[in-house]
Amino acid sequence: MVRGMRQSNTDLPAPARLNFDILRLVCDRLTDVSDVLSFALTSSTLTKPAFQRRLRMSPVNLSNRRFVDSFYDFIFADEAARAPCIYGLKLPNVPRVGTEERTGPQLPIMQLQLVTILQAAVHLKYIHFPSIVDDLDPVLTVAANMASLRELHLVFDASLENRRTVG
């Protein structure tokens, strides 16, 4: 064997690595929710900033009890890093969710979770309430006292109101 034919490890170029700050800047420029969530999966180092970016991008749609419960668990798994980043929430339309979610202890639990999320979301700017807010009255009270809130959407659906007064 001829000497010098083998390359030593010191001759090989080091693998290229992007600086974490550059990757974070890339994440902050993403505008599509699915892109941000995919970005979060690329590296455990990028998960936290990607989740924060997602929370700042657009309102989170909490369309039913299961989503409220999952979002509550997600936020409070790392409250200090996640709760201040919540831009907005679209709350569930309680009359349109399943009956089991409106009866028994389910509704008060969901109300408490939503109130707790709102209290932790100190920079919340947007909230969308469903057509009938009676079922979310404690949540509306907390939302009304939020200094950071810039947009409050209350939707009125006359067909649901008529069903409540007739029934």
pLDDT in tens, 133-159: 666 788 888 998 999 999 988 887 666
* pLDDT number for residue 10: 64
For residue 145, give every residue at least 6 positions away whose Cβ sits within 8 Å of its Cβ, in sequence order, or none. none
* pLDDT number for residue 14: 72
Question: Which segments of the chain have a pLDDT < 70?
Answer: 1-11, 16, 95-104, 131-135, 157-167
pTM: 0.75
